[in-house]
Chain A
Amino acid sequence: AQKVTQAQTEISVVEKEDVTLDCVYETRDTTYYLFWYKQPPSGELVFLIRRNSFDEQNEISGRYSWNFQKSTSSFNFTITASQVVDSAVYFCALTSAGNNRKLIWGLGTSLAVNP
C-alpha cells in the first residue's frame, strides 16, 4: 500500500528564518512521482514541483529547494529566508507511473510565517 506521512502538523517561524517541511513516503512501485502542493489561505491548490523516482537530483527554485532521498524514502521541502506570503498549508503527494494516476496525499503541514 502507498502512504505519505507529513509528521509536522503545524510549524511557526519568524520571517527570514529557514524552514524545512518533512515528507516520508511508502510505496512498492519502482517508478513513481512525488509532488508538493501549496494551499494558501485563499484556498486554491497550487502545484509546486514534481519529482520522478529515477531522478534524485535536488531541485532549487528561488527560495524553494527540495531534497529527494530514495534511501530514506523522503522528499523534504525547504524554504529559505521565509516570508509572510509563504504562510500556507503544504501537501506532499505520491502517485504511481502508468495509467493509475491517483494521488496519495499527506495530511499537510500548516506553516505560519510571522513578521
Chain B
Amino acid sequence: NAGVTQTPKFQVLKTGQSMTLQCAQDMNHEYMSWYRQDPGMGLRLIHYSVGAGITDQGEVPNGYNVSRSTTEDFPLRLLSAAPSQTSVYFCASSFMGTQYFGPGTRLTVL
C-alpha cells in the first residue's frame, strides 16, 4: 500500500513549457485534490475531484488543468508555465474528511 504517490519530485521548466504532474493513490479514495504551497501563503487549493469524471476549481485554478478518468489517478497539467507557478505542489486523497498527502513536487519555472 503506497498511499499517495507523486512524480516527479523535482522539475525545472522554462517559461512557456507545459508539463504534467502525476498523482496516484491506491486507497480507493473518491476525493482527491491539488494544492500549492508558497512561503507565507500556506496551502492553497488548485483543483479537486469528488470522483472519477468530476472535477472542480479551487482557490487558484488559473493556468492549471486537471482530469480524473480513474479513481486512482489525478494529474495536474500546467499549460504554459510561468515563473509565478514556481512552488511546491501537493496532491492529496481524502477519506472520511481526512486528507492524506503525497510527498510533493518542487517546481521551478525560469
Main secondary structure of the interface of A (DSSP, over half): loop
Total number of A-B contacts with CB less than 8 angstroms?
A: 47
**Interface core residue of A44, A95, A103, A106 (most chain B CB under 10 Å):** A103
Q: Which residues B90-106 have CB closer than 8 A to chain A?
A: 90, 92, 94, 97-101, 103-104, 106
Q: Which residues A76-109 have CB closer than 8 A to chain B?
A: 91, 95, 97, 99, 101-103, 105-108
Nearest chain A CB to B93 CB, angstrom units: 11
Cα–Cα, bound, A46→B98 (Å): 11
A16 within 8 A of B: no
User: By the criterion CB–CB under 8 Å, are A35 and B40 in contact?
Assistant: no
Cα–Cα, bound, A103→B58 (Å): 11
Nearest chain A CB to B47 CB, angstrom units: 11
Nearest chain A CB to B35 CB, angstrom units: 8
B88 within 8 A of A: yes
Nearest chain B CB to A51 CB, angstrom units: 11
Residues of A within 8 A of B97 (CB): 33, 50, 95, 97, 101
**B interface residues, how many (CB within 8 angstroms):** 22
Residues of A within 8 A of B104 (CB): 43-45
**A interface residues, how many (CB within 8 angstroms):** 20
The interface of chain B, by Cβ under 8 A from chain A, is: 31, 33, 40-43, 45, 48, 50, 58, 88, 90, 92, 94, 97-101, 103-104, 106
The interface of chain A, by Cβ under 8 A from chain B, is: 33, 35, 37, 43-47, 50, 91, 95, 97, 99, 101-103, 105-108
A-B contact pairs, 18 of them (CB 8 A): A35-B99, A43-B103, A43-B104, A45-B90, A45-B101, A45-B104, A47-B98, A47-B100, A50-B97, A50-B98, A91-B42, A91-B43, A99-B50, A102-B48, A107-B40, A107-B41, A107-B42, A108-B42
Listed from nearest, the 3 A-B pairs whose CB atoms lie closest are: A45-B101, A107-B42, A33-B97
